[in-house]
Amino acid sequence: MTKQIILERILEDIRTDSVKSVILDSDMANEMDDQYALAYCIGSDKIKLLSVNSAPFRGDRGRTYPQGQEESYQECLHIRDLCLMEESSLAIYRGAEAPLTEQNGFAPMDSPAARNIIKTVKESHKLVYVLTIGCCTNVVSAYLMDPSIAENMCVIWLGGNELGYDDCHEYNLYVDYRAGQILINSNIPLILMPAESHRRSLGTQVLKASFDWLNTIAGTKPIHDYLRHGLPYAFYNNRIRNQQKWRHILWDVAAPGLLAVPDAFDLSIITAPIFGDDHRYAFDQTRDKIIYMNKLDKTAVFDDCAKAISAI
């Protein structure tokens, strides 16, 4: 079966009303959008969240990759607790503690998260969607450890910028550039969701939240209070002076949104771009195909996200 046919069938599956089997792979402590994405997955009636993986990152305050991974793992546990879920209801796995590096020959980073992906995909009777909203180290490592998982997996990755950018060097790609190159060059069915665009109406950057939207999240569980007010104020160190002017991009809710409200997304099958060693896009029409997100409907995604979170 050609890659074109496989991707066409995935697009057909996404547009059906069937509940999708999902692994969420996230750098949960890096930003404040991952938490909304996790809650979206938990509350959506279109998603069966099988498990959550923590991904490594290295940010400010001198944080190392292992520290970033552990902080992400702990924040995953925190969100699960705020949703009043038992451990048996949602398994969470620690991911890689470093990106793929030349020093170790770009060997896979073995971790509970990578092994979770392999085990889940191989045991599933349905296609497993791996929502990769941080670096793609875990899913690429799983693939390098067992390439056969590409047969029953689709990766939805928030990585890179719009193809109109010369520079593809977006944060999730930057964290593990080599893993990104392996993913875009592999036979894994991939849906690429770009972050930024010269045109502000494109990319997942359009998902700019306001307090007006946050206040549409209903419910009385701890998770609802945390996402309505607690998390934004904590992330900004209580420096939000004017709720009317506050805005923050929640890039990561695009990934579950694609499965929950597919009609809100304009997707097409294209030739995979090249992530060049110079961190710029290059193109070769002989390459394999991927699915690419051209644009999304912000209102539809945010409406469904708030509905799902309120249903927790």
Q: Which token pair is 61?
A: 């305050």
Buried-exposed string 195-230: b where 16+ CB fall within 10 A, e elsewhere: bbbeeeebbbbbbebebebbeebeeeeebbebbbbe
Count each helix (H run) and each strand (E run) in the chain, helices first: 12, 12
pLDDT of residue 239: 94
Tokens for 304, please give them.
């469904």
Q: What is the pLDDT of residue 258?
A: 98
> Span 3-310: which CATH code?
3.90.245.10
The domain ranges of the chain are 3-310
Beta bridge partners of 268: 292
Residue 200, pLDDT score? 66
- As a whole number of angstroms, the distance between CA 279 and CA 292 comes to 19
**Residues of the chain whose pLDDT is less than 50?**
none
- pLDDT of 312 reads 98
State the pLDDT at residue 196. Answer: 80
Give this prediction's pTM. 0.96
